[in-house]
Structure 1
Amino acid sequence: MTDDPVSLRVSLAQRVAEKNVSFDSVWRRAVEGVAREGFLGDAVFRSDGIRWESVRRAEVGEDAWLRLVYSDETWVTRVDGVHAADVEGPVVGSPTSSSTLPSLVVRMLEVAGIRDGDRVLEIGTGTGYSTAILCHRLGDANVTSIEYDPGVARQAAENLRAAGYTPNLVVGDGLLGYRAGGEYDAVVATCSVRHIPVPWLWQVTDTGSITTTLGGWLPASGLVRLTLGDNDIASGRFLGDTVSYMLARPHERPPRPVFQRYAGTVRECRVDPDLIEGWTGAFVAQLAAPSAELMTASDGLILRDVATGSQAWTEANGAGRVVHQHGPLRLWDQVEDALIAWQGVGSPDQSAFGLTVAADLTQTVWIGGPEGPSWQLPV
């Protein structure tokens, strides 16, 4: 394979197409046409599972750098707000900005059902790469992108200008949308949310769509597309994709206090706690305990409710498992009941799940249909 950037973009588009049989030719041309190297700067972060280490263009050489850029990978550009080019040695922390893998960028846009001429509001500009893909397809005038972090927004604006794109860029809270831009045919979020922000519902057309990942503190995630219907009700189905994004800043978990185990009440587990380690099992658990976080220990799992301090932790007991629960919420009871309900309808993947936002703004996730097992989101 040649290291010529144009050839690498064509090769990347081919790999994206192989991952997605429905890959539309217009998105393929966008991947081939947008120079991703212009959105990564001169350094990115690579994780060893514990720490983040800066990978620098000058150190690895131009050919290796371009191969990195045009791999179908997500590259973290900032950790706790600090750019990869501004650190010396490994760092610890949480990613705060990244360039999402191109196949996921395109997958989100395809799920959204975007068509020529649509006006799109993107929540989370990031490096600007996905914004450029939108501009390539729709034209600059039809793209509005909002970014929460002013430093990230400034860099994205520079990246986009250098690449020849001039969309409407906004610095602010993406959960509020951007009303001044008028109604949009599609809202697409490149961050996760714990519930659907109400302003998004007000800012899409009567036939518009909202595509986002529903996330939380467990953490678990599900990709969903909503459309507006009669009586001001929005509803839609989750996809089976195993997709996750960083949580929107206002939806992030509060700082964690030091955890201490309390014995509380003890009983045998009715379901295997390891179910929570599966993609859909974790999602079900999060629906049942939306303000809880998950931690692991050498002898079991720990659930801690961020809002109340309630906790549940499991440990081996002979051939089985027992659970200790302490605090005003019986976290494991909630999670276990939800897992049993999910198992009762055949343990389907997330493509069997749906979400309804009612006229009174209650938001309900259900399995099979609104009459099936269901849980309300925290709003």
Structure 2
Amino acid sequence: MASEPDIETAAADLRLRLARQLEEDGRLRSPQWRAAVEAVPRHVFVPRFYRQSDAPGVTTWEPVTPETVDQDEWLRLVYTDETWMTQFDRHDIDWTDPKPISNAAPTSSSTLPSLVVRMLEDLDVHDGMNVLEIGTGTGYSTALLCHRLDSGRVTSIETDEGVARRAREALAAAGYSPYLLVGDGRVGHPDGAPYDRLIATCGFRNIPPSWLEQVRPGGVILTTLRGWMRSLGLVKLIAAGDSASGWFSEDDPSFMIARQQDAPESLGMVPGPADGTKRKAAYGPETFTDSGPAFMAQLAAPDARFFSMAVDGSPLSTFVLDSVTDSFAVLTAADSGWEVRQGGPRRLWDVIESAIATWEEHGAPSTAAFGVTVSRDGQVVWLGNPSGPQWRLPS
């Protein structure tokens, strides 16, 4: 096994290569952030992690440590532009004897560096600014912020105590000392306000009102909006006191949703075979896998989730259930397309089809054609301009 000086020398070379790659790909655009990428030792923040196995069948994650794959390979992987999983199902991993993990949901990770630096570039920070970060995670992005601005200007909130403890230790080992809190990121940290910039590295169903109170007018809020079915995308808002507005980006980073906004465990009541009323459907289950229609479905039915299954030997059907209103839609293949059966207070498939039709009428644009306005009256996503078609975000 290589000595510590050898590891540091190899890591420094790998950071230079990573920075060069990110610059060539157009993600790294400024010398200040390039200097941060070249300086911050990602291997200190990701000393052990899991990667997805290529084996067919059930999704399985394999542990990666200097002992399990060879030290050189571990270090090479750390500095590749990949997201590495560091926690599953909110449970700490026993790294004394790590095992492959199956049938588990990732709940913490080290996000791929290209997305991290792209977001930091978009945050548009300048010397002397104060930044609030929601979602410390491993602490790698926090360290980049500290290197760029100075530790005293960075406040970071993590909801998981174990994750926060490890991030604190890694940040100290790397020589950084931001103000770290364990808590609900939706609350922010009013004692440190006002902030010039706020960046969230987990997804939210809406913009927490406390963020508007804590980011100074003219400041930037950069976060991912998402729902229970999928991510809506990265949005950059300009704060204006008790309101904010801005646009979605072209990219669609899919961060894990903030734990306080996780979907209820129960999907809702599965309708019986005779429940609801039938009609021909204009769209089928591909709605949920095609990026544009899926974006519109999430906007139109923010409290819904979907799954496919066969009931009592019948053909495979796709169920769309809204656990808040107990509304449902069931899609089933018909002779000439799809048939939908709907019931409950809200006609789920009607509103989804209407949203997709509106999107098509406007030329099926990318997410960059959509914006967000947040005010005391509510939070809406609009198409084209604030007077265009609108969909409310859940409160």
Please list the CA deviations of residues 218-244 of structure 1 after superposition, one character each: whole Å capped at 9, or x if unmatched: 123211010023x74310011010211
Please list the CA deviations of residues 298-345 of structure 1 after superposition, one character each: whole Å capped at 9, or x if unmatched: 845321112133221212112311112132221111111111111111
Superposed, which structure 2 residues align to 1:94-105 within 5 Å? 94-105=105-116
Contact kept, 8 Å, 2:296 with 2:359, in 1: the verdict is yes
CA distance in 1, matches of 2:180, 2:224: 22
Q: Secondary structure at the match of 2:255?
A: coil
- Quote how far apart the aligned CAs of 1:265 are: 1.4
- Counterpart in the other structure of 1:14: 20
Q: Which amino acid aligns with 2:21?
A: R
Q: Which amino acid aligns with 2:79?
A: Y
- Counterpart in the other structure of 2:296: 284
The one of 314, 329, 336 aligned to 1:319? 336
Q: Which amino acid aligns with 1:372?
A: G
- Counterpart in the other structure of 1:76: 85
Matched, 1:242 2:252: yes
- Counterpart in the other structure of 2:135: 124
- Counterpart in the other structure of 2:4: none
Contact kept, 8 Å, 1:185 with 1:205, in 2: the verdict is yes
Matched, 1:309 2:326: yes
CA distance in 1, matches of 2:11, 2:136: 23
- Counterpart in the other structure of 1:233: 243
CA distance in 2, matches of 1:22, 1:75: 20
Contact kept, 8 Å, 1:219 with 1:294, in 2: the verdict is no
- Quote how far apart the aligned CAs of 1:212 are: 0.2
CA distance in 2, matches of 1:353, 1:121: 25
Contact kept, 8 Å, 2:232 with 2:295, in 1: the verdict is yes
- Counterpart in the other structure of 1:39: 45
Contact kept, 8 Å, 1:192 with 1:212, in 2: the verdict is yes
CA distance in 1, matches of 2:19, 2:34: 6
Q: Which amino acid aligns with 1:217?
A: W
Contact kept, 8 Å, 1:357 with 1:363, in 2: the verdict is yes
- Quote how far apart the aligned CAs of 1:47 are: 5.1
Aligned residues: 376
- Counterpart in the other structure of 2:149: 138
Q: Secondary structure at the match of 2:186?
A: helix
Matched, 1:200 2:206: no
Please list the CA deviations of residues 256-286 of structure 1 after superposition, one character each: whole Å capped at 9, or x if unmatched: 3587453321111123442331223212111
Contact kept, 8 Å, 2:231 with 2:255, in 1: the verdict is no
Contact kept, 8 Å, 1:191 with 1:213, in 2: the verdict is yes
Matched, 1:66 2:75: yes
Question: How big is the alpha-carbon RMSD for the aligned residues of Structure 1 and Structure 2?
Answer: 2.0
When normalised by structure 2's length, the TM-score is 0.90
Identity %: 46
**Do the aligned partners of residues 295 and 20 (structure 1) sit closer, same or farther apart at CA in structure 2, a change above 3 Å counting?**
farther
Q: Which amino acid aligns with 1:55?
A: V
- Quote how far apart the aligned CAs of 1:21 are: 5.6
Q: Which amino acid aligns with 1:274?
A: E
Superposed, which structure 2 residues align to 1:98-177 within 5 Å? 98-177=109-188
**Do the aligned partners of residues 206 and 124 (structure 1) sit closer, same or farther apart at CA in structure 2, a change above 3 Å counting?**
same
